[in-house]
Amino acid sequence: MGHFARAGYDGVGVRDIAGSAGVTAMLVNRYFGSKEKLFAEAVDTAFATPVFVAEDPQTLLSDIVTALVTRTEPTADTPEPFLILLRSVSNPRATEIVRDAIGRYVGTRLTRQLPGPAAGLRAEVALSVIAGVLLMRRVLATPSLRAADTDELRTILQATLGPALADPAAEPPGL
C-alpha cells in the first residue's frame, strides 16, 4: 500500500513492491495475478478501515470534523487512502478501482448513516468537502488553511458539512 501511496499506480512496478517485501515479482504475480489486482487489493485494504467516517450516527458530524482537523494538521501524516487516490487518478483503470472502493466502503458507510432523501448524493458532497480540505490543507498547504485556528476551522467545517449530513426534511433547529 505504501508504494502506491508514495508513487501512484503508474509510478511503481511489481518489482519495486516485491523487492520491498523480500520476494520476487514472479511470486507477487502468482498470488495476485497482476499489478492491477495487487493495486485493487491494496485499495480495498486502504479504504476498508474507517478514517474519517466512523459508525456512530449520533456523533457523525463531530467525528468527521475532529478527524478532518486532526488528520490535516501540518504535523500529521497524510492518510494513505487519500494519497493513493491523489497519485493514481491519471490512470483510468486505477481511478475506476479507487472510485469503486470509495463507493463500497466510505460512501456506503456514510450513506447508511444519513437520514432522509438523497443520502447517497449528500454523502458524496460531504466526501468531496473532506477530499478538498485534505488537498488544500495537507497536500497544497494553502496559507489560510495551514495556519487556521483549530476551533475556528472546526466551526467552519461543522457549518459546511452539517447541512449535507442532516435530514433535509427535518425542521431547522429553533422552529
Which residue, 171, 80, 69, 173, is CA-closest to 130?
Answer: 69
Block residue for cell numbers 473532506: 130
Rounded to whole angstroms, how far apart are CA atoms 69 and 133?
A: 9
Quick one: DSSP state of residue 104? I
pLDDT, residue 171, reads 63
pLDDT, residue 168, reads 87
**Averages of pLDDT over each 10 residues, the chain, 175 residues:** 89 91 90 92 90 84 95 87 91 96 94 93 96 94 96 98 90 59
| Residue 142, all three cell numbers | 494553502
Rounded to whole angstroms, how far apart are CA atoms 79 and 90?
A: 19
- What are the distances in angstroms from CA 171 to CA 4, 117, 120, 165? 45, 14, 21, 14
pLDDT, residue 56, reads 80
Radius of gyration over every alpha carbon of the chain, rounded to an integer in angstroms: 18
- 1-165 belongs to CATH 1.10.357.10: yes
pLDDT, residue 170, reads 78
Rounded to whole angstroms, how far apart are CA atoms 116 and 170?
A: 8
Contact at 8 Å (CB) between 123 and 61? no
pTM for the full model? 0.87
pLDDT, residue 169, reads 83
pLDDT, residue 75, reads 87
pLDDT, residue 172, reads 63
